[in-house]
């Protein structure tokens, strides 16, 4: 119990932590059941659907590898959203920051410095993180200096970032050939595949490590304490002498760096280059991941794995059945609805304890 | 927790009831059939264009030859590799049909591990050993509509204006689509060298709202004919044409019926035929690897005014028909890309 308490002691208490885990689990189950009902109404067999998803996510070693591959970017983007959320900042710009990270990494990765892999690979990763951080840092700066709303500025900057990277990959950095993409990165910048014929790379373990580091920073460091103070009550934090402007900018920088890492890992591990339109919305899906994880960096690992499994499973669902893979999005959407409306879940599932507490 | 389990159980039982009630037609015969795997582009089904037409082509093959097929909709380019591998690994697919040049590297890699897997690679001019690549000539597809625009903007056609301006709108800035732009502009300049051709990119294939805004701004700047190469975003172009009473051109499958009073013609490309013919070749034993490029001569691309209510002046029809004959015979080759356009315009003029 002490381990669990330490793991989830996000400035809260043990009761809140177990309650959070239970709410997230219930929301997920409820989302799957409601989606199944919708499938049945649409005359699709929900058992066939979930069977196919399960096979595609865990059926064999390749399926498990796909689950981990799909979970990796979601863990980064979910974590990026979570970090900003700790300071009560809503970073909708994870998608754009990820694009900036991806193009910077692809650029450095394809340049020949004559560096060995031990230097080239970290350099490419660093540039990805810095590019993402700069874009997010700009948002923080605009908010602190000019009072602009970060939700709006991140949404607008998404479009700008995606189009700038699109331009770069179409003209200055374009590889020869008919596809809009950059040159293939050099072998010295590649994250090697762990097994022949599998897409899985060390990126997955880097993602877990980053989640763990962010957890420690948030809960064990002064900076993390300041970030959480700003998140709980900005005015109180200011009164207590915390430089809230600086803390918000730093929070956005960290959040953007993690978003940039999402792009960097996709480029170095999976795609081996920047491809225009490479993201199916990982940045936005990160919001669902963060919601399911209840804004806990360790929870992000598990939430990322769950959504990764759904996405990996959707491939087999797609191939072996005529059930639209849009149901994966339906499940994700319901997760957000249920997680963000805990009272709704409590009313639907009448537990004695919860009901009593609610009634009081 | 017991109540929770109970509720879930009841729901599950209810679900199976609902499903069982509406599922009686699912029964498959067990004879050995040709089986095809289709890897769509990231646009996915519902685009009323490339992906839907490919699906249509296989559906026709189902009716004609009794094949079966499964398809996957990649959500991002990262999905291409695992999905190709999934089809190849299954070992039960006689042919994989892959859409779009961005699948090149995944196909190369899978082909290395499964050298016997037959793959038809649609809409690419990349050559991979053991793979059949099928391409069409984009410049030839849009050239004739370019001629109509070039002559139409000078003509007294009802919705044409005085300005010598036309436009072309891209969905996304893809190099092969820019060849379509080159074809359109070379068609315009072939008959009307001084015309101004406005160009713009929507940035998405599925944003009709933005497509409409861009089209409206082009029409306001004096354009009276706009060619779109923008997938579903092009539907907004038609809407804009209707709003300001100007002309537009469709692309891909015949789109004239969508706004028959405003769409003059469509730059046709029959993707469904391309896909259907791959299956047909496989069944007839004529499927061979290598690059198959087809253009107007093969009937793969062209131009159609069918279903449009707009009557083109006889003088324009005549020029278009002359150009078509010249392209089919190889006497006339539209500009291959935007880089060579200026030189092409200087060298090719109608009537000389």
Query: Mean pLDDT, to the nearest integer, of B12-41?
Result: 64
Residues 202-221, chain A, touching B (beta carbon < 8 A): none
pLDDT of A103 above 50: yes
Q: What's the gap in Å between the CA of A270 and the closest CA on chain B? A: 6
Pairing of strands B247-252, B223-229: parallel
Query: Mean pLDDT, to the nearest integer, of A23-51?
Result: 93
pLDDT of B23 above 50: no
Q: With beta carbons under 8 A apart, name residues in chain A contacting B105.
A: 272
pLDDT of res. B26? 43
The pLDDT tens digits for A244-297 are: 999 999 999 999 999 999 999 999 999 999 998 899 999 999 999 999 999 999
Its ipTM equals 0.84
Report how far apart, in Å, the C-alpha atoms of A163 and of each of A117, B214, B250 are: 31, 16, 26
Percent of chain B residues topping a pLDDT of 70? 91
Tokens for B156, please give them: 């007294």
pLDDT of res. B47? 72
pLDDT of res. A180? 84
Chain A CB within 8 Å of residue B70 CB: yes
Percent of chain B residues topping a pLDDT of 90? 72
Global pTM reads 0.82
Query: Mean pLDDT, to the nearest integer, of A205-229?
Result: 96
The pLDDT tens digits for B309-340 are: 999 999 999 999 999 999 999 999 999 889 99
Of B319, B276, B326, B272, the C-alpha closest to B296 is B326
A5 vs A17: CA distance, rounded Å: 8
What is the residue extent of each domain of chain B?
35-136+272-294, 138-269+313-346
The pLDDT tens digits for A50-80 are: 999 999 999 999 999 999 999 999 999 999 9
Residue of A nearest to B100 (CA): A179
Tokens for B113, please give them: 């591990």
Chain A CB within 8 Å of residue B81 CB: yes
pLDDT of A326 above 80: yes
Sheet holding B263-269, edge to edge: B196-201, B165-170, B223-229, B247-252, B263-269, B301-304
Q: With beta carbons under 8 A apart, name residues in chain A contacting B126.
A: 177-178
Q: With beta carbons under 8 A apart, name residues in chain A contacting B11.
A: 33, 36-37
The pLDDT tens digits for B274-311 are: 999 999 999 999 999 999 988 998 888 988 999 999 99
pLDDT of A176 above 90: no
B137 vs B141: CA distance, rounded Å: 7
A149 vs A160: CA distance, rounded Å: 17
The pLDDT tens digits for B72-99 are: 999 888 999 999 999 999 999 999 999 9
3-class DSSP string for B298-316: CCCEEEECCCCCCCCCHHH
The DSSP string of B172-240 is S--HHHHHHHHHHHHHHHHH-TT-EEEEEE-S-SS-HHHHHHHHHHHHHTTEEEEEEE-GGGHHHHHHH
**Residues A319, B78: C-beta atoms closer than 8 Å:** no
The pLDDT tens digits for A193-203 are: 999 889 999 99
Report how far apart, in Å, the C-alpha atoms of A85 and of each of A82, A88, A104, A284 are: 5, 5, 25, 14
Candidates A21, A26, A40: best to mutate against B (most CBs of B within 10 A) is A40
Instruction: Check: CB of residue A90 under 8 Å from CB of residue A342.
Output: no
CATH architecture of B35-136+272-294: 3-Layer(aba) Sandwich (3.40)
pLDDT of res. B183? 96
Give the confidence band of A235 by pLDDT, cuts at 50, 70, 90: very high
pLDDT of res. B24? 43
pLDDT of B238 above 80: yes
If you search the block for the tokens 């097994």, which residue do you land on? A195
Q: What is the CATH number of domain A2-359?
A: 1.10.3470
**Residues A166, B203: C-beta atoms closer than 8 Å:** yes
Of A332, A303, A305, A328, the C-alpha closest to A315 is A328
Sheet holding B119-122, edge to edge: B68-72, B35-39, B95-99, B119-122, B131-136, B290-294
- Nearest by CB to residue B19, choosing from A45, A179, A350, is A45
pLDDT of res. A197? 84
pLDDT of res. B32? 66
Tokens for A4, please give them: 């669990």
Chain A CB within 8 Å of residue B115 CB: no
Q: With beta carbons under 8 A apart, name residues in chain B contacting A274.
A: none
Q: With beta carbons under 8 A apart, name residues in chain A contacting B101.
A: 177-179
What is the residue extent of each domain of chain A?
2-359
pLDDT of res. A159? 92
The domains spanning B35-136+272-294 and B138-269+313-346 adopt the same CATH topology: yes
Of B100, B105, B102, the C-alpha closest to B38 is B100
Of B193, B178, B202, B226, the C-alpha closest to B336 is B178
pLDDT of A329 above 90: no
Q: Is the dihedral of CA A117, A120, A121, A122 positive or negative?
A: positive
Chain A CB within 8 Å of residue B199 CB: no
Pairing of strands B301-304, B263-269: antiparallel
The DSSP string of A128-164 is HHHHHHHHHHHHHHHHHHH---HHHHHHHHHHHHHHH
Across chain B, mean pLDDT equals: 89
Exposure of B261 in the CB half-sphere (CA atoms within 13 A):
8
- Top-confidence residue, A341 or A152: A152
Query: Mean pLDDT, to the nearest integer, of A294-305?
Result: 95
Query: Mean pLDDT, to the nearest integer, of A294-322?
Result: 93
The pLDDT tens digits for B175-225 are: 888 999 999 999 999 999 999 999 999 987 778 899 999 999 999 999 999
Query: Mean pLDDT, to the nearest integer, of A201-230?
Result: 96
The pLDDT tens digits for B146-164 are: 999 999 999 999 999 999 9
Chain B CB within 8 Å of residue A149 CB: no
Instruction: Check: CB of residue B228 under 8 Å from CB of residue B190.
Output: no
Chain B CB within 8 Å of residue A122 CB: no
Query: Mean pLDDT, to the nearest integer, of A178-189?
Result: 91
Q: With beta carbons under 8 A apart, name residues in chain A contacting B176.
A: 178
Class assignment of domain B138-269+313-346? Answer: alpha beta
Q: Is the dihedral of CA A153, A159, A162, A168 positive or negative?
A: negative
pLDDT of res. B4? 61
pLDDT of res. B298? 85
Report the range of poorest mean pLDDT among A242-256, A311-325, B15-29.
Answer: B15-29
Angle at CA A96, nearest 5°, toward A90 and A102?
A: 130
How far is CA A8 from its chain centroid? 19
């Amino acid at each position: 119990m002490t381990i669990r308490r330490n793991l989830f002691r996000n400035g809260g208490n043990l009761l809140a932590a177990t309650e959070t885990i239970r709410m997230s689990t219930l929301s997920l189950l409820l989302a799957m059941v409601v989606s199944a009902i919708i499938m049945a109404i649409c005359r699709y067999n929900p058992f066939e659907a979930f069977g196919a998803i399960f096979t595609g996510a865990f059926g064999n070693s390749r399926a498990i590898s796909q689950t981990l591959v799909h979970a990796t970017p979601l863990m980064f983007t979910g974590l990026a959203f979570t970090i900003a959320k700790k300071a009560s900042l809503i970073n909708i710009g994870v998608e754009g920051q990820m694009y900036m990270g991806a193009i910077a990494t692809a650029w450095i990765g394809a340049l020949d410095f004559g560096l060995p892999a031990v230097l080239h690979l970290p350099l490419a990763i660093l540039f990805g993180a810095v590019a993402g951080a700069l874009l997010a840092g700009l948002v923080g700066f605009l908010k602190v200096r000019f009072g602009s709303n970060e939700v709006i500025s991140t949404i607008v900057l998404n479009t700008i970032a995606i189009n700038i990277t699109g331009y770069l990959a179409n003209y200055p950095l374009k590889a020869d050939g008919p596809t809009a993409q950059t040159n293939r990165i050099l072998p010295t910048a590649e994250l090697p595949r762990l097994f022949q014929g599998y897409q899985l790379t060390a990126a997955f373990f880097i993602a877990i490590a980053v989640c763990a580091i962010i957890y420690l920073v948030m809960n064990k460091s002064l900076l993390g304490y300041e970030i959480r103070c700003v998140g709980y009550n900005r005015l109180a934090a200011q009164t207590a002498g915390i430089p809230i402007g600086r803390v918000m900018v730093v929070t956005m920088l960290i959040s953007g760096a993690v978003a940039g890492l999402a792009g960097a890992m996709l480029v170095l591990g999976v795609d081996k280059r920047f491809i225009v339109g490479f993201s199916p919305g990982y940045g936005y899906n990160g919001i669902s991941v963060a919601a399911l994880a209840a804004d806990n960096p360790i929870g992000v690992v598990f939430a990322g794995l769950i959504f990764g499994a759904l996405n990996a499973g959707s491939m087999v669902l797609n191939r072996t059945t005529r059930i639209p893979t849009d149901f994966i999005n339906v499940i994700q959407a319901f997760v957000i609805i249920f997680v963000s409306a805990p009272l709704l879940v409590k009313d639907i599932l009448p537990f004695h304890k919860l009901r009593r507490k609610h009634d009081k | 927790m017991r109540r929770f389990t109970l509720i879930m159980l009841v729901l599950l039982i209810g679900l199976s009831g609902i499903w069982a009630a509406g599922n009686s037609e699912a029964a498959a015969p067990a004879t050995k059939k040709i089986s095809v795997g289709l890897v769509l582009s990231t646009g996915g089904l519902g685009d009323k264009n490339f992906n839907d037409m490919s699906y249509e082509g296989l559906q026709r093959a189902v009716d004609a030859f009794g094949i079966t097929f499964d398809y996957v909709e990649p959500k991002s380019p990262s999905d291409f590799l695992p999905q190709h591998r999934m089809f190849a690994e299954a070992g039960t697919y006689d042919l994989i049909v892959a859409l779009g040049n961005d699948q090149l590297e995944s196909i190369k890699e899978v082909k290395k591990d499964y050298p016997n897997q037959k793959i038809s690679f649609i809409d690419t001019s990349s050559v991979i050993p053991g793979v059949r690549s099928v391409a069409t000539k984009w410049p030839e597809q849009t050239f004739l509509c370019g001629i109509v625009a070039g002559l139409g903007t000078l003509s007294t056609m009802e919705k044409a204006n005085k300005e010598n301006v036309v436009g072309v709108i891209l969905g996304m800035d893809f190099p092969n689509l820019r060849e379509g732009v080159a074809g359109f502009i070379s068609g315009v300049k072939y008959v009307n060298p001084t015309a101004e051709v406005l160009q713009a990119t929507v940035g998405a294939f599925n944003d009709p709202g933005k497509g409409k805004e861009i089209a409206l701004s082009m029409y306001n700047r004096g354009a009276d004919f706009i060619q779109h190469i923008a997938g579903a975003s092009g539907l907004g172009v038609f809407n804009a044409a209707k709003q300001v009473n100007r002309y537009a051109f469709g692309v891909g499958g015949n789109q004239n019926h969508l706004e028959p009073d405003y769409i003059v013609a469509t730059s046709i490309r029959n993707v469904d035929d391309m896909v259907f013919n791959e299956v047909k070749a496989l069944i007839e034993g004529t499927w061979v690897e290598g690059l198959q490029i087809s253009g107007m001569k093969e009937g793969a691309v062209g131009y159609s005014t069918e279903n449009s209510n707009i009557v083109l002046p006889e003088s324009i029809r005549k020029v278009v028909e002359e150009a078509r004959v010249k392209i089919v015979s190889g006497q006339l080759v539209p500009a291959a890309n935007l880089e060579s356009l200026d030189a092409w315009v200087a060298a090719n003029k109608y009537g000389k």
